[in-house]
A = this chain, B = another copy of it.
Amino acid sequence: MKIGIIGGGSVGQTLGAKLIANGHDVVLGIRTPSQAEFDKERSMADTISAWMKKTGGKVMSFAEAAKHGTLIINATSGGISLDALKQAGAENLKGKVLIDIANPLDFSRGMPPTVITKYTQGTSVGEELQSAFPETHVVKAFNTIAAAVMVDPSLIKGEHDLLISGNDTAAKKTVSDFARKEFGWTSIVDLGDIVGARGTEHYLPLWVRLWGATGTPFFNIKIVKS
């Protein structure tokens, strides 16, 4: 499958590496592809050069990555997602499924991060993207777990859940099938329409504390009911 990943940080690199290993034709999109940018040190991720060498993957602009993909993954930071996807171009996203993994976190107040205020006022990055790109099928998913767990849920012992939200039932089936087939997810919980993104984006301050409590970023939640 042709996959375009928007964002060259830890999440984009991890997903890209796994999907290339699975045999897919991946383009990783970054804002300004250039040798200087490829060699730049990145926080909690490899340089783009190191990632290219390791995976054999291609790195291009946001727009080229979006144009390339039949499936698009938003792996940018939530605060810049709308801008990055506007650069990617509505025409390159039209009619496609967009998996939105972004979390709109503000680290300026220290740890734990807060949710960027705009996204606490009755909206979310997922909803904002769906509204900005009405001809794209946005599915919020994978934003409640560490990158390594996204692509290998078996890192965690026992059953645990992938939470997804989106307006389009067929797009949610596409993403669920993708999560099962590419990464081995077995339990997927559908939170309904894209408004569910408010819930999963607000979960991050708890996620950070649970990381402290469990002593590992390799954890997740299982929904248990009566």
Mark A residues whose CB is within 8 Å of B. Answer: 109-110, 112, 114-115, 117, 120-122, 155-160, 163, 165, 189-192, 195-196, 198-200, 202-210, 212-214, 216, 218-226
12 extra A-B contacts, CB within 8 A, seeds A114-B198, A165-B209: A112-B195, A120-B120, A155-B226, A157-B225, A159-B224, A160-B224, A191-B213, A199-B208, A216-B226, A218-B226, A220-B225, A222-B224
How many monomers of this chain does the complex have?
Answer: 2
Contact of A226 among B122, B159, B204, B219 (CB under 8 A): B219
Closest B residue to A192 using CB positions: B212
- Assembled-state Cα–Cα distance A207/B204 (Å): 13
- Assembled-state Cα–Cα distance A206/B159 (Å): 19
- Assembled-state Cα–Cα distance A110/B121 (Å): 11
- Whether B214 contacts A206 by the Cβ 8 Å rule is no
- Whether B114 contacts A226 by the Cβ 8 Å rule is no
Closest B residue to A207 using CB positions: B199
Contacts of A190 in B (CB 8 A): 213
A-B contact pairs, 18 of them (CB 8 A): A112-B198, A115-B202, A117-B120, A117-B121, A120-B120, A157-B226, A189-B210, A190-B213, A191-B209, A191-B210, A199-B206, A199-B207, A202-B203, A202-B205, A213-B223, A218-B225, A219-B223, A219-B225
